[in-house]
Amino acid sequence: KRPTLIGDRTMTLKAVPFFTQLNDRELDVIRTLAVEKAYPRTAVVLTEGEMGDSLYMIQTGKVKVFIGDEDGREIILKILGPGDFFGEMSMIDKQPRSASVTTLEASTFHILSHSAFERAVEQAPRIANMVMRVLASRVREADRK
């Protein structure tokens, strides 16, 4: 199923924990630059190894982040929900997706392309710090495994 675009950009971002650390001006920057998309349950959002350059912020719903082993079995890395984001790695370095992401529930995302992210950071530099903080915590967690 193809994702459908939901047009309402005024959807409140404050419901999302990730965004509670941002002030109203910073939220406005994201609201203006992000595209909102809705996916049904069990939809493929990202596929490991494919190119992509967008970061997905979860407004509602739940997703599964996983990689395939040599036998094609799924190894689940993380379950993410409202306030989390994913896809930041390829958005930043423009390399293939490091994992696959599918929805576990009907989900809505705010999607920022690389260029939209650059514009957002120009207008609100703290957004970059927040993404880097999450990236650092994911590296730490992965190192412990």
How far is the CA of 102 from the CAs of 35, 51, 62, 68, in angstroms? 19, 16, 9, 13
Identity of residue 131: V
Among 19, 22, 61, 90, binds ligand CMP (CB under 6 A): 90
By CB under 6 A, which span of 2-10, 19-27, 94-102, 119-127 interacts with ligand CMP?
94-102
86 binds ligand CMP (CB under 6 A): yes
110: β partners: 36, 57
Q: Is 118 helix (H, G, I), strand (E, B) or coil?
A: helix
132 binds ligand CMP (CB under 6 A): no
45 binds ligand CMP (CB under 6 A): no
User: Which CB atom, from 98 or from 113, has the smaller least distance to ligand CMP?
Assistant: 98
How far is the CA of 51 from the CAs of 6, 10, 43, 47, in angstroms? 24, 30, 18, 9
Site size toward ligand CMP, by CB under 6 A = 15
| Tokens standing for residue 51 | 């190119």
112 binds ligand CMP (CB under 6 A): no
142 binds ligand CMP (CB under 6 A): yes
51 binds ligand CMP (CB under 6 A): no
Are the C-beta atoms of residues 116 and 34 closer than 8 Å to each other? yes
What is the binding site for ligand CMP (CB under 6 A)? Answer: 46, 65, 77-78, 86-90, 97-99, 101, 138, 142
